[in-house]
Structure 1
Amino acid sequence: MVLCAVAAIGAVAIVLVPATSPETSRGDTGLVSVVVNHGRTVELGPAETRTVAVEVTASDRSGIRAVDPIGLWGPNYGALKVGPMSCVPLDAAGTTARCSGEAVIAAGSRALFDDQAGTWFVDLRIRAADGDRYVSKNAAGFSLKRTAGFDLASVVPARAAVGGAVTVRGRLRRADWDRDAEVPQQGTTAYLQFRPAGSSTWSTLASTGTDADGLLSLNVPVRGPGAFQWYAPGDKWTGGALSEVLPLRVDAPESHPGR
């Protein structure tokens, strides 16, 4: 397997493109597991750089010598290098080892583009002490997504009477890696949730879609005090988002002496 360097990005990241190779696995070398970012989705904001852990567990009767080379590749020729892997035996016989390294993923300086969000894969070669090897271009997959977030969230009026109505607004934006900025996320469904005062449970009241400016607005009846929040679940390319909590105060009913 050969990983061909094609560009150096900034001072820390080197972009690699997996090259076609006739190399195949041989012997009893086996892959036990591959974990990227501790099994969690990697989400990057505009111009953000993150260092993520890459962990490979492998076995061979003769012991594991190294995991090299190893890289990450994704949609539209996305490719990243994983730094040197350090291997530690997990059993007394030394037949199973866990090898750990790190990858630097940068959304700034045009190192990563919007159309490269989605499912990424680990391309690796595991080398055993006796010359055996395990080779895979799809050893494991993980999600790399653009961050999303709400702003301009409000409830108007913030104080109302039972039986009245309030308008809850917000704006949904997401990272634009191409422009190193946050931009409106249009045509996306978001859910308005409510939590009654004294409760810890949120329930969904309604859903609506964002307009061309990422704006949301819903009119809802007032049934009691509590708080609202907006929720967008995200998708394969964009992370989920929660707005700030928006308290709603409710006026006590007017008293009518003599009734």
Structure 2
Amino acid sequence: MRATSRHTVLTGALVLSASAVTAPVAYAAETGVVIQKLSVNGGKPLVLGTSQTESFTISVTASDDSGISSNLAFLAIDREAGDDYWSYHGSPKCTAASATTSTCKLTVKLDSGWGVPRNALAGPWDVTVQLQAKDGDLYNNAGEPKHPVLRRGKLTVDASPEPVYKGKPLKVTGKLTRANWDKRTYAGYADKPVKLQFRKAGTNTYTTVKTVSTNNYGNLSTTVTASADGYWRWSFAGTSTTSAASAAGDYVDVR
């Protein structure tokens, strides 16, 4: 079964950074339409949890000698993997910056019907831009470039005992979970390397102490020697389907 989702455009609901990747100039020689900037989620990976209330913006700046028309303007991000298909798409609002150049923005708000996609669809998604110049020329980038859409990762940490005497063992535990889009919940992420990091009190930088792999349930556990007051945390670099994550530091008083 193919599930497709059309989402509502919420004009002005979200303002994101103008930084973006530059789209390939498809059909520019034939039509004169040139894509100057293309941005999904401000150029950052689109990371989705299980909430139905998240939002993101697709923005494109384009130019043509005749100007850019709002007619037939269409922006989308989608992916197909096996029998699974998902799409966030719609007609953007185009605002002219000059007689030749316009910026078109589509703000997508996840709804209660099709908020998040299937787990199998995490990874690189196609970004589609369709525009029309005022002289009738058409632009279609045919689904390039790609943009990462990732399952949100989360980490917890607990260091004990608190307080602890200097030179004594300190046990640090935690759990790595990630969004299960199929079940709309978070589940343990098994057999993944996670860094244990320490930040000494009065400093701003975490240093990696060791790397530990999660067990079958996403749990983490290791023992270190207490040496100074400071904060302990776990940090995960992320994968091609799951976002990076770091736990909030757990402060330990060393006496």
TM-score normalised by the chain length of structure 1 = 0.81
Tell me which of 81, 86, 90 is aligned to 1:79: 86
- 2:23 maps to which residue? none
- Residues 111 and 220 (structure 1), Cα distance of their counterparts in 2 relative to 1, 3 Å cut: closer
Residues 238-257 of structure 1 correspond to what in structure 2 (within 5 A)? Answer: 238-251=242-255
Once the two structures are aligned, what percentage of the paired residues are identical? 25
Contact 1:44 1:145 in 2 (8 A): yes
Structure 2 residue identity aligned to 1:171: K
Shift of 1:108: 6.9
Shift of 1:190: 0.6
The CA distance in 2 between the partners of 1:133 and 1:110, in whole Å, is 31
SS for the counterpart of 2:253 is strand
Q: Deviations over 1:132-191 (max 9, x none)?
A: 12211234332211111123x211212222222111000111100011111011011111
- Residues 110 and 133 (structure 1), Cα distance of their counterparts in 2 relative to 1, 3 Å cut: closer
- 1:104 maps to which residue? 109
SS for the counterpart of 2:120 is helix
Give unmatched runs, 5+ long, in structure 1.
Answer: 1-5, 15-23, 252-259
Residues 74-223 of structure 1 correspond to what in structure 2 (within 5 A)? Answer: 74-76=79-81, 77-91=84-98, 94-105=99-110, 112-151=117-156, 153-223=157-227
- 2:13 maps to which residue? none
- 1:236 maps to which residue? 240
Tell me which of 49, 61, 64 is aligned to 2:68: 64
Range with bigger deviation, 38-47 or 75-84: 75-84
Shift of 1:112: 0.9
Q: Is residue 39 of structure 2 the alignment partner of residue 35 of structure 1?
A: yes
- Residues 110 and 87 (structure 1), Cα distance of their counterparts in 2 relative to 1, 3 Å cut: closer
Q: Which contiguous aligned blocks of 4+ residues in structure 1 show a shift greater than 6 angstroms?
A: none
- 2:17 maps to which residue? none
The CA distance in 1 between the partners of 2:55 and 2:170, in whole Å, is 44
Give unmatched runs, 5+ long, in structure 2.
Answer: 10-25
Q: Deviations over 1:199-247 (max 9, x none)?
A: 1111010011000011101111122111101111111211111112211
TM-score normalised by the chain length of structure 2 = 0.83
